[in-house]
Amino acid sequence: MDERAARHLMSVFSRPRPPGSAGERATARAIRDWLEAHGIPYRVHTFSLYPYFFESIGVWIILSRTLLWVAVIERWGWLALGLAVLGLLGGTVDILTGWPLVTWPGRRTGENIVIEFGPPDAIREVVFSAHYDSKTELLDHRQRAIFVEHPRLWAALTLLVGAFALLDAFVSLANAAFASFVHVGSVALASLLLVGAWGLGLHLSAGRFVKQSSGAVDDGAACAVVLMLAQRLAHEGLPSPDTRVTIVLFTGEEANMQGSRAYVRARAWPLPTRVVNLELLGQDGPYLLWRQDGDAFHRVETPAEVRAWVTSAVSRVVGTAPREEGQINSDAFSFLREGVPAVTLGTADKRWGTRGLHRPTDSPARVRVERLSEHVNILWALIEDVWR
């Protein structure tokens, strides 16, 4: 594929497309139109998408913790403890199980786009995935760490506030000095929780109301690369004829990986499979592999043998091995928690590293379009080398 065609694809994937938005729907249509124009068969996997997942959680956190603060001030006792527990359930249940306890507003049909190559008697499968939705937050994913990377600490503080509120209600009838001490302590803890709740809640809920990220790096370039790979496979055939190659463009990744979770759970996995999820491609820095994947509550190790396979392919194409990083939160996690071996491959920016995402600093200027063909060559090498 020439650079002009790659630039056309990047124009499709360099505009805001939050889950549930007109931009997301237009991007899905543009992907389907491109595949049809190039004669590449595909199918659409539909699922129930809750597009305002994190916005709903953000509003819930603000409202529930503000009401808990009022309950502490007013010494509501058992009711305050109940509010603390209920506040924790909202959001935690949604993230851990996918069940929309508080994230149900705005439900619609999400579309994963699936492209499949390979014979019916294939003996193995390779899956390449990328997500076509984008996201904007008040802070980038590094800056937000103070709020989102310690959920157990915030949960413990919420329960502690509820417990102190209960104690405060009982001791208010006892010694006045001790009662005053407990009440002041309860209010102080509740105020600390309130500040954190408003910080996290605004971060989660207000991103759609500020200047939007283009999503060119996260994850537009990766979407362009997998479509370029699909076109090459359609024209040249499979480099490994007994291997099935599946390309999936997910939506809902930026809303707790809903699209990939639905896809992984909906299909069977009869063949030995390896998954390479693609994130942050097209930047001018080194290749990256992540050793762990997960959400705020749980992390999973990416298989060493899959990392070695990807490392070998990258080294073969560019002459240097990818750099291994710690943790990422990506669609690979959906595969890993269902027992399907997966890893995420990406690139760093020489200036930004992996910072500046989910912000307007994720712009088309960060993508080196001429590098996309190199990425396709790496994916081709992965197909050639699988399980050798």
pLDDT tens digit sequence for 149-203: 677 888 898 999 998 888 888 876 666 777 788 888 889 999 999 999 999 999 9
Q: Which CATH number covers residue 114?
A: 3.40.630.10
Last residue of a domain, one of 205, 220, 251: 205
Mean pLDDT for 121-133 is: 96
Whether residues 367 and 236 share a domain: the answer is yes
User: For residues 190 and 184, what is the distance between their CA atoms, to the nearest angstrom?
Assistant: 10
pLDDT at 115 exceeding the cut of 90: yes
Each residue's pLDDT tens digit, 75-89: 898 999 999 999 999
Last residue of a domain, one of 205, 225, 242: 205
Whether residues 78 and 166 share a domain: the answer is yes
Q: How many domains does the chain have?
A: 2
Q: Can you point out the beta strands (E) in the chain?
A: 43-49, 108-117, 124-131, 243-250, 273-278, 287-294, 299-301, 323-328, 342-347
User: For residues 272 and 382, what is the distance between their CA atoms, to the nearest angstrom?
Assistant: 15
| Amino acid at residue number 126 | V
**Chain mean pLDDT for the chain:** 93
Bond into 219 cis (ω within 30): yes
Each residue's pLDDT tens digit, 234-243: 999 998 889 9
Each residue's pLDDT tens digit, 10-42: 999 999 999 999 999 999 999 999 999 999 999
- The residue segments making up the domain with residue 121 are 3-51+106-138+211-385
Whether residues 167 and 252 share a domain: the answer is no
Whether residues 224 and 332 share a domain: the answer is yes
Q: Which of 18, 13, 50 is CA-nearest to residue 207?
A: 18
Whether residues 351 and 243 share a domain: the answer is yes
Whether residues 380 and 240 share a domain: the answer is yes
Whether residues 189 and 113 share a domain: the answer is no
Whether residues 124 and 189 share a domain: the answer is no
3-state SS string for 15-77: CCCCCCCHHHHHHHHHHHHHHHHCCCCCEEEEEEECCCHHHHHHHHHHHHHHHHHHHHHCCCC
Cβ-based burial of 77 (10 A; exposed 0-12, middle 13-18, buried ≥19):
middle
Each residue's pLDDT tens digit, 43-95: 999 999 999 999 999 999 999 999 999 999 998 989 999 999 999 999 999 99
User: Which of the four pLDDT bands, split at 50, 70 and 90, describes residue 349?
Assistant: very high
**What pLDDT sits at residue 182?**
81
**What pLDDT sits at residue 95?**
92
Kindly give the pairing relationship between strand 273-278 and strand 243-250: unpaired
Whether residues 131 and 250 share a domain: the answer is yes
Whether residues 310 and 325 share a domain: the answer is yes
Whether residues 263 and 335 share a domain: the answer is yes
Each residue's pLDDT tens digit, 299-347: 999 999 999 999 999 999 999 999 999 999 999 999 999 999 999 999 9
Whether residues 224 and 341 share a domain: the answer is yes
Last residue of a domain, one of 165, 184, 205: 205
Q: How many Cβ atoms sit within 10 Å of the Cβ of residue 200?
A: 22
